[in-house]
């Protein structure tokens, strides 16, 4: 039986597409009220809303640039006011430019780091007052296997994902006193509509790449009451691809 999240309120960043969409829908399926964040994918966020409402779930849409502190605070406060608090934060919004290390400009480097790492840090800061009110919180950071294994396509992306792992560990220590757990998921390749070559699947022992639903199921488990003693962890979710 899947874990019930009835009565919980969740904020999912980058919920208009890919992993974030899958996570937002599954949280709602299990009873959570969901704030759907997006930056530029307005149509995607509306589709996520449609899917949740078809399930009979409660949700709202919030636009914000997670590289901007003021917009992050507004997002968190609006979500808390609309949903009656924030119990769960899923830091998922990320930027991947697919440039080689020395092809990056300083502005491009700053943008990736400000979204992927600083944005996560500031989102945690923004939800903290709302979680402290309840002496409860589940913060789940979406990283990547490339926080450990270098890419051959975007080293700055990898650098940001490596930083997320340590952000999760440090946050877990500091926030434990407030009943808040912080855990990280490190997915491998996930099919968000970009994988069409079957040869890609030869690198995966289970014979397929991941799906947003795979990540969503793990998010819901971590968000549940069954993981009250789990914090500061990073869980690799890659179908054993890192072993090859």
Whether 221 sits among the annotated catalytic residues: the reply is no
pTM for the whole structure: 0.95
Locate the DSSP E strands across the chain: 9-12, 33-38, 59-63, 88-91, 137-142, 180-187, 234-237
Alpha-carbon dihedral of residues 20, 137, 34, 147, nearest 10 degrees? 0
Q: Which member of 38, 157, 178, 221 is catalytic?
A: 157
Greatest distance between any 2 Cα atoms in the chain: 50
pLDDT tens track of the chain, all 244 residues?
467 999 999 999 999 999 999 999 999 999 999 999 999 999 999 999 999 999 999 999 999 999 999 999 999 999 999 999 999 999 999 999 999 999 999 999 999 999 999 999 999 999 999 999 999 999 999 999 999 999 989 999 999 999 999 999 999 999 999 999 999 999 999 998 765 545 456 688 998 999 999 999 999 999 999 999 999 999 999 999 999 8
Which of the four CATH numbers 3.40.50.720, 3.30.1370.160, 3.30.1330.10, 3.30.420.40 does domain 9-243 have? 3.40.50.720
Separation between Cα atoms, residue 91 and residue 144, nearest integer Å = 12
């Amino acid at each position: 039986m899947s874990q019930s999240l009835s009565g919980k309120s969740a904020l999912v960043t980058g919920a208009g597409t890919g992993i974030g969409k899958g996570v937002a829908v599954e949280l709602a399926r299990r009873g959570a009220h969901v704030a759907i964040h997006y930056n530029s994918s307005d149509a995607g966020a509306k589709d996520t809303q449609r899917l949740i409402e078809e399930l009979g779930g409660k949700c709202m849409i919030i636009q914000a640039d997670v590289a901007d502190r003021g917009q992050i605070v507004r997002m968190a406060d609006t979500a808390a006011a609309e949903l009656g608090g924030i119990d769960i934060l899923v830091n998922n919004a990320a930027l991947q430019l697919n440039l080689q290390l020395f092809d990056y400009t300083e502005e491009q480097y700053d943008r990736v780091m400000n979204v992927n790492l600083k944005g996560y840090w500031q989102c945690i800061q923004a939800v903290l007052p709302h979680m402290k009110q309840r002496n409860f919180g589940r913060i789940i950071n979406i990283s990547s296997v490339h926080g450990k294994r270098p890419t051959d396509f975007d080293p700055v992306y990898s650098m940001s994902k490596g930083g997320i792992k340590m952000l999760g560990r440090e946050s877990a220590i500091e926030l434990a006193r407030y009943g808040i757990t912080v855990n990280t998921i490190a997915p491998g390749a996930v099919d968000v509509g970009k994988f069409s070559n079957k040869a890609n699947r030869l690198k995966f022992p289970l014979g397929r790449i991941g799906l947003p639903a795979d990540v969503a199921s793990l998010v819901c488990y971590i968000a549940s009451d069954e993981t009250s003693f789990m914090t500061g962890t990073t869980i690799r979710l890659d179908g054993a691809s890192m072993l090859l």
